[in-house]
Structure 1
Amino acid sequence: MTRYLYSLLLLLFILPAKAQQQTPDQYLGYPLGSKFTYHHQIIDYIKLLAAQNPDRVKIIQYGSTNEGRPLLTAFISSAENMSNLETIRTNHLKSIRMMDGKPEGKVIPITWLSYNVHGNEAVSANSSMKVVYELLNKQNTVTQEILKNTVVIIDPCQNPDGYERYTQWYNRYQNAVPDVTPFALEHDEPWPGGRFNHYLFDLNRDWAWQTQKETKARIELYNQWMPHLHADFHEMGSNRSYYFPPAAKPFHKDITSWQREFNELVGENCRRYFDKNNWAYFTRYNYDLFYPSYGDTWPSFNGAIGITYEQAGGGAAGLAIERKSEKDTLTLVSRIDHHFATSLATLEAVASRKDKIVSEFVKFHEDATTNPAGPFKSYVIKTKGNEERVRSFTEWLKKQGFQYGQAGKAITTKGTELSSSTDQSVKIENNDLVISAYQPKSNLLRVLFETKPVLEDSVTYDLTSWGISYLFGLKTYGLKEKLVPATYQATPVDNKVPASSPYAYLARWSDVEDVVFLSELLKRNFLVRSSNVPFEMNNVKYDAGTLVITKKSNNQPDFDQQIAALANKHHVQLTLATTGFVTEGADFGSEFVPVITSPKVVTVAGPGVSATSFGSVWHYFEQQIQYPMTLVDPGKLSALPWSEVDVLILPAGRYSNILTDKVLEQIQDWVKKGGKLISMEGANNALLNKPGFGIAKKMTDKGKEPDVFKKYGEQEREETSDSSPGSTFSVTFDRTHPISFGLKQEYYTLVRDAYDIELLKDGWNVGYLNEKGYMAGFVGERMTGKLKNTLIFGAQPVGKGQIIYMFDDPLFRGMLYDGKILFANALFR
């Protein structure tokens, strides 16, 4: 009886809670904005609202993070729309030709609001709770009218790992009463900060390249819904105000007039809210629509209205921070209010122009499919000799949602070789990859393939060059004629186990999967050699860098079965050698065919080190080549057991307080005994002009008089003269050096700094920029001279070891395919 009464009382207690929708304050037990809410609480609250409103909300978990946190979206609309949600989706995709058939009814707008792509811009995720609540609040006539006319997709936190890293730190160190003093501990976020994901990648710059787990999952869902508008919510420095559209110049030339017009309309709606409340804001400054890998531009090139919002605050703001310049205190509560207002303003704008936004979206994709803009109607990628690279490239095409195929027949025509922008005769072979511009995503395709994007203003926010032919290192042609591709069939790799063991297995070295193959062989204790010179065998030529896996010293009973299985797993085509004798080059027992050892690799990670540079290295080892790497605190280098280390990697950073004279002496002694130091970008600054290190700055500007008549009002534009926000250069290589093995064609790099480094006098100038290196993108006038005859990659022998200088990061954002091979050469060769 007691148990029955207890159950009845519990039921009576729960029923009112279910009947009445809980506000964020009621659910959390504290006022929203009075503290940072943990990620799991935000997710649980949205799930609770979904349970209380099953007819108006659908929760979809579209993935999980590297640390196991859920990536979740809430689909919200009227009960009528939600009952037909799948029909709304398929009608929409049919209307834009991304699904076969014709729409069976009216298409309504789909609006996607994304919060917290940068983890320490933590107001966003907290704001999402208020947005979801008010969308479901039946007393709110504004939001209920919105839901009748649109489907709203809410992603409350795009970067849960970064958000939780920030939130847990802040909640641990905040005072009982928030300390508004700017230099207080609670405003001094420790390394690496919460901005980035687990692998310290900036997810807001990964939309086009999809290197990260979160991005891949998100865009897979995005392509299933293709929203008409995508808004991305951010924070910026705490001493600023609030940014909303119109966006700043430069606009990419392919942003349509309608997208620009709607940008203005959203801005008008936002101004109405902000003017009414006397809130400060700015427009048309700083945040442009050019680089195609943001949360506003990538959706824009997919036809959506892409919008960025920026609230003053960020990781330094905490719950409250004093702003002497503004004579106020910026609070989390006020930041939530601002993001909530622009969220509603955005949704109101969509609802107010619901028919126009749909018709323009349909027109965008219809024109793309039937009459694509731009000079090229087809793209051809040469496949022969690049089969694995092309296979990797087609995986990227799939993730973007592009349609592709193969030529299906051999023809000769005219085309433009994209990397050099030269018109050539093109011999197209049966298996060459063909991508037609006549497809719904033609505009995105054109933008990502362009090698010389038109820049209307030099003051820009990020990279100004990104051509796919540069990034993937594939010979790519743009054709003015329409080619209809045949069904694509990947070239299969099927290594059979031979009846008897050969003398050796040969594996060419030119693709990232070759690196993964080598990595796994070394982890399994196979002995692998590398031919450091080209050779010929049985009238077949092999490039330097070819892997040689001899039967000798590999005495496992299932040796042949393992080698064949691993090669098939990694798409590596093996060649069987029956002898160690070659007709040209060096025999396999020669000193020019040395053993590749399995190095113990150590990388520094901590204060002073660039989080993103380290993150690129970390992700490369763990997720791309799957090779073990040990992380150490940079402050503990002096206590490192040097005899146990083979390779030390210094990612970019500021090392002036890390590489003390004592540590530099230890490193030099270790290198002399056979160690290998890989020093990247800014880490080299601590080695410049130091005894034993062969790098030095050029004296380019010696004797140059400063411009004393420069104008104050043009200071931002003046600064661009000394900048290259991300331009493409071709690096000149010593092709006989092992660092360049496997780089078949030109090596293109993204220049983001003025290197201005003397060529090595004692060592090997493996890669450098010459006067003809520039390919595309913006380079400031005063920057140009600093990028001529400057060292990019150098190798300095020291005793039994060597120092490898990388003034440019080959692993930058995981974008450069050849950069991954180059780094493997530096590591293993």
Structure 2
Amino acid sequence: MRYIKAFTLLLSILSFGQETVSLDYYLPQGITYDQSIPTPKSVIGHEVGEWHITHDKLVQYMYALAKVSDRISIENRGSTFEGRPLLLLTITSPDNHTNIAQIQKDHIAATNGELTNFEDRPSVVYQGFSIHGNEPSGANAGLAVAYYLAAAEGPEIEELLNNMVILFDPCYNPDGLQRFAYWANTNRSMNLNPDPNDREYSEVWPGGRTNHYWFDMNRDWLPVQLPESRARIKSFHSWLPNILTDHHEMGTNSTFFFQPGIPSRTHPLTPKMNQELTKAIGQYHVKALDKIGSLYYSEESFDDFYYGKGSTFPDINGSIGILFEQGSSRGHIQESINGLLTFPFTIRNQFTTALSTLEAGLRLKSDLLEYQFNFYENARSEANKAGNKALIFGDEKDAAKTYHLAEILNRHQIKIHELKQETTINGKTYKPNYSYVVPKNQKNTRLINAMFEKRTTFQDSLFYDISAWTFPLAFNLDYSETTTSVAGSEIKELSRKTSSVSSKSNYAYLMEWHEYYSPKAVYAILKKGLRAKVSMKQFKSGELTFDYGTIMIPVQNQKLNSNDIFTELNSIAEETGVKFNPVGTGYNEGIDLGSNNFRPLELPKIALLVGNGITSYDAGEIWHLLDTRYDIPVTKLDVKNFNRADLDRYNTIIMVNNYSALSKNQSKKLKEWVENGGSLIAYRNALRWLKSNEFFKPEFKSSSLTAKNISFEERGNFRGAQVIGGAIFEAEMDRSHPVNFGYKNNKIAMFRNTTLFMKADKNSYNNPIRYSTNPLLSGYISKPNLDSIANSVPLKIAGLGRGTVIGFTDNTNFRAFWYGTNKLLMNAIFFREEF
């Protein structure tokens, strides 16, 4: 009898799961709705939650609402890599809309200390959904939220809209959402199947979480390297909302999370009142979720440390960031330890907390406005105390890399100044056009501190994300504290330095390798069929000294004549900013231009391994780097097609972090390719795979850690404290080695998020990059791991037959903003034959 009852209960649950819910399932009860406002179904053709919304239909519905509702205006702020619009709806009362420019002006004026009225001004709430495309309940809930805000009638909605401006971002990640919706919908059965083994719940690589280039966009709020991020950061700074929400999903067996996160993992620069207001807002979620009977938790996981996340970035900008995490159905209905989890149920929780956020924004309006005012008032006080203090950063040989850091600061409305004249500070030379000055006495001084600080002590040893992101270190730039006495005029519009060839040569042109876009320039030269060589030594030509890695383009015996070469190099110089020096003689102080110490370069032909078993983030970073910055084609070679691929088409294959992505036969094929002259560049855990398959033999340091006086309850924290979630370390460089060509300093900052430690070779010349004895620059690392990394090496190079294996333990291309180590990869590609 007990089994019959249980089976009957299961059938009833399954029956409910098969039913198509109506819009009423989500909407608050006892409210009337304007019949002239279209429901989602009337526009997209199905009920919310019946199918996964595709981005094109989401856009269609948002425009439909804006067309008929005087509460909504809509703007397209740009497009994704795949050309999808980045929409923002402004939702408020019709009266506020007629005065929206003044409301915005007053709101910003208050952050400048020009207004102190906290009663008569609207609060501003930025609501955003599904920055991870395969966490779709947020964007799908956005359909119902937008309908409610447009159609609900009565004094409650009028009070809300009269006292609030809602910046409504229906989907942070259009490309990812579209990719996942396609997967979920094409694998949906008419008879919904909750079996977690069904194909519907196991999307193919790389999944819909990321954007077009496989970036986790919820890590890009601070670096702002992606078009989606640039649009929303511009909107954020133009309004400075009081609350910003970020609707996510987590594992299927989870319930619902809202912030605050774990208190000890809040960044020290975040004011205490921020977390108190976060907790006060949370009480509105408690009340709303209790009302519909949903389980939830808070303050037990996640954190507010890395300012590059959507829920944390607002905290250093006078706003309150709120993270929501909903247990995911990953499709339409799935079994979980909490019963059958339906897609509509996940949507309803997101919808409910979206509305409870608005309720909090209304009821706590004065507190939120006053907090924001005080945040900037206190920041101004800190800035005033800084007086004429300033930061200077630059690279006297690389204008482009320096420009790109200035570009990030500019996107965050941080004021930057020209350098008045060449100056030397702490032994480093800063030149105009190659350096910028950042006065500390300005509005966003706290954000400046967050971006430039080096931190090595922490209240907690566990981090949800990285523990360090010091921007000048990420860009491998010289930087120092100085005063505004070295500053020239404030830069109103940034422009990247261009270049040209000063005169035509009938002999040769020389180009140093220091500029960030040097690889782009040389690839363009080689692609034109021109010959180019790289210098293995330093030399002096006339009055100019040229460094290791200088590129020489001879004029004679080329496919183009001297006039065409001059024209071509001029065009490349203008596009890339590199400088070509025309010379009329090959006779130099040091090596001459005809020396065998100038080695010929070969056009790179690159394949990047992708597919199951490969870390898509790492692969996407390299794809993005080569494709969008250097204009270098790269073949994304899926491991499932590896057996039938003709590897002779490539001279370089890149293998990023993976877990045994290749079979035994595929490994054999790859090894034969290397032995026949190919260059294999590998990253992170791929080095273990290469060692086990006898491609090369790095020696790894083994660490033995014993838990003493650690309770069962504490075991997770004990293990977690040994993770290097992301920190920055100093390494020493042998600049004469080709892997280090283009670097002017003898030290470099390396980003690391692995515990893979390689022993140095007994021969020093085989250790072109080596961690220093005290390598920690910024971030958290446990004492045992710090001992292990000291004097270890992040790079191992070994011959295999006629080919080369190049192994990096660290990611040189992290999140598209680690410009400072990109050239290590490019050197491995262009100078591989000299290793």
TM-score normalised according to structure 1 size: 0.90
What pairs with 1:370-409 in structure 2 (closer than 5 Å)? 371-372=382-383, 377-382=389-394, 384-408=396-420
1:636 paired residue among 611, 635, 641: 641
Residues 425 and 787 from structure 1, CA distance in 2 versus in 1: closer, same or farther, beyond 3 angstroms? closer
Query: Quick one: which amino acid aligns to residue 393 of structure 2?
Result: I
- Is contact 2:506–2:584 with CA below 8 Å preserved after alignment? yes
Deviation at 1:185, TM superposition (A): 1.5
Tell whether 2:540 aligns with 1:536.
yes
Rounded Cα–Cα distance in structure 1 between residues aligned with 2:352 and 2:362 = 15
Deviation at 1:608, TM superposition (A): 1.0
1:274 paired residue among 254, 272, 289: 289
Could you tell which deviates more after superposition, 73-82 or 130-139?
Answer: 130-139
Counterpart of 2:40? 24
Could you tell which deviates more after superposition, 349-358 or 17-26?
Answer: 17-26
What pairs with 1:408-427 in structure 2 (closer than 5 Å)? 408=420
Counterpart of 1:504? 508
2:581 paired residue among 550, 570, 575: 575
Rounded Cα–Cα distance in structure 2 between residues aligned with 1:465 and 1:94 = 33
What pairs with 1:500-649 in structure 2 (closer than 5 Å)? 500-557=504-561, 558-584=564-590, 586-649=591-654
Rounded Cα–Cα distance in structure 2 between residues aligned with 1:178 and 1:490 = 55
Counterpart of 1:339? 350
1:154 paired residue among 168, 172, 183: 168
- Is contact 1:210–1:216 with CA below 8 Å preserved after alignment? yes
2:224 paired residue among 200, 210, 216: 210
- Is contact 1:602–1:631 with CA below 8 Å preserved after alignment? yes
- Is contact 1:732–1:767 with CA below 8 Å preserved after alignment? yes
Counterpart of 1:65? 80
Counterpart of 2:189? 175
Rounded Cα–Cα distance in structure 1 between residues aligned with 2:398 and 2:654 = 30
Query: Quick one: which amino acid aligns to residue 369 of structure 2?
Result: V
Counterpart of 2:235? 221
Rounded Cα–Cα distance in structure 2 between residues aligned with 1:310 and 1:346 = 14
- Is contact 1:114–1:158 with CA below 8 Å preserved after alignment? yes
- Is contact 1:373–1:443 with CA below 8 Å preserved after alignment? no
Query: Quick one: which amino acid aligns to residue 86 of structure 1?
Result: A
Counterpart of 1:348? 359
Residues 721 and 484 from structure 1, CA distance in 2 versus in 1: closer, same or farther, beyond 3 angstroms? same
Rounded Cα–Cα distance in structure 2 between residues aligned with 1:101 and 1:546 = 57
Rounded Cα–Cα distance in structure 1 between residues aligned with 2:35 and 2:289 = 35
Could you tell which deviates more after superposition, 587-596 or 189-198?
Answer: 587-596
Deviation at 1:425, TM superposition (A): 8.5
Could you tell which deviates more after superposition, 398-407 or 356-365?
Answer: 356-365
Counterpart of 1:7? none
Counterpart of 2:749? 748
Deviation at 1:734, TM superposition (A): 2.8
- Is contact 1:231–1:308 with CA below 8 Å preserved after alignment? yes
Is the partner of 1:687 in helix, strand or coil?
A: helix
Rounded Cα–Cα distance in structure 2 between residues aligned with 1:330 and 1:133 = 24
Deviation at 1:532, TM superposition (A): 1.6
- Is contact 1:366–1:440 with CA below 8 Å preserved after alignment? no
- Is contact 2:428–2:478 with CA below 8 Å preserved after alignment? no
Deviation by residue 1:754-777 (Cα, 9 ceiling, x = unmatched): 113233579933323243222221
Deviation at 1:803, TM superposition (A): 0.8
Deviation by residue 1:283-306 (Cα, 9 ceiling, x = unmatched): 112211111101122222111111
Is the partner of 1:341 in helix, strand or coil?
A: helix
Rounded Cα–Cα distance in structure 2 between residues aligned with 1:372 and 1:19 = 53
Rounded Cα–Cα distance in structure 1 between residues aligned with 2:127 and 2:365 = 17
Is the partner of 1:821 in helix, strand or coil?
A: helix
Query: Quick one: which amino acid aligns to residue 132 of structure 2?
Result: H
Deviation at 1:258, TM superposition (A): 2.7
Counterpart of 2:330? 317
- Is contact 1:528–1:548 with CA below 8 Å preserved after alignment? yes
Deviation by residue 1:44-102 (Cα, 9 ceiling, x = unmatched): 1121111111x21101111111111111111100000011112222222333349x999
Deviation at 1:155, TM superposition (A): 0.7
Deviation at 1:797, TM superposition (A): 2.1
Is the partner of 2:666 in helix, strand or coil?
A: helix
Counterpart of 2:101? 86
Deviation at 1:476, TM superposition (A): 1.1
Is the partner of 1:179 in helix, strand or coil?
A: coil
What pairs with 1:136-151 in structure 2 (closer than 5 Å)? 136-139=150-153, 141-151=155-165
Residues 140 and 176 from structure 1, CA distance in 2 versus in 1: closer, same or farther, beyond 3 angstroms? farther
Query: Quick one: which amino acid aligns to residue 519 of structure 2?
Result: V
* Superposition RMSD in Å: 2.7
Rounded Cα–Cα distance in structure 1 between residues aligned with 2:71 and 2:438 = 41
2:311 paired residue among 278, 296, 304: 296
Rounded Cα–Cα distance in structure 1 between residues aligned with 2:122 and 2:527 = 54
Deviation at 1:463, TM superposition (A): 0.7
Tell whether 2:484 aligns with 1:474.
no
Counterpart of 2:821? 819
Rounded Cα–Cα distance in structure 1 between residues aligned with 2:604 and 2:626 = 13
Could you tell which deviates more after superposition, 709-718 or 21-30?
Answer: 21-30
Query: Quick one: which amino acid aligns to residue 682 of structure 2?
Result: S
Deviation by residue 1:728-753 (Cα, 9 ceiling, x = unmatched): 11123332210111122321112211
Rounded Cα–Cα distance in structure 2 between residues aligned with 1:428 and 1:761 = 37
Is the partner of 2:411 in helix, strand or coil?
A: helix
Residues 106 and 533 from structure 1, CA distance in 2 versus in 1: closer, same or farther, beyond 3 angstroms? farther
Rounded Cα–Cα distance in structure 1 between residues aligned with 2:203 and 2:795 = 34
Rounded Cα–Cα distance in structure 1 between residues aligned with 2:237 and 2:527 = 38
- Is contact 1:116–1:122 with CA below 8 Å preserved after alignment? yes
1:189 paired residue among 185, 193, 203: 203
Q: Which runs of 5+ in 1 are unaligned?
A: 1-16, 414-423
Query: Quick one: which amino acid aligns to residue 769 of structure 2?
Result: G
Deviation at 1:648, TM superposition (A): 0.8
Counterpart of 1:33? 49
Counting matched residue pairs gives 790
- Is contact 2:501–2:580 with CA below 8 Å preserved after alignment? no
- Is contact 1:694–1:761 with CA below 8 Å preserved after alignment? no
Tell whether 2:422 aligns with 1:444.
no
Q: Which runs of 5+ in 2 are unaligned?
A: 1-32
Deviation by residue 1:337-377 (Cα, 9 ceiling, x = unmatched): 11111111111111112233223323323443454288793
- Is contact 1:677–1:802 with CA below 8 Å preserved after alignment? yes
**Amino-acid identity (%):** 25
Deviation at 1:614, TM superposition (A): 0.8
1:284 paired residue among 290, 295, 299: 299
Deviation at 1:668, TM superposition (A): 2.6
Is the partner of 1:395 in helix, strand or coil?
A: helix
- Is contact 2:682–2:808 with CA below 8 Å preserved after alignment? yes
- Is contact 1:412–1:428 with CA below 8 Å preserved after alignment? yes
Residues 502 and 18 from structure 1, CA distance in 2 versus in 1: closer, same or farther, beyond 3 angstroms? farther
Rounded Cα–Cα distance in structure 2 between residues aligned with 1:395 and 1:448 = 13
Deviation at 1:491, TM superposition (A): 8.8
Query: Quick one: which amino acid aligns to residue 364 of structure 2?
Result: R
- Is contact 1:375–1:480 with CA below 8 Å preserved after alignment? no
Is the partner of 1:772 in helix, strand or coil?
A: strand
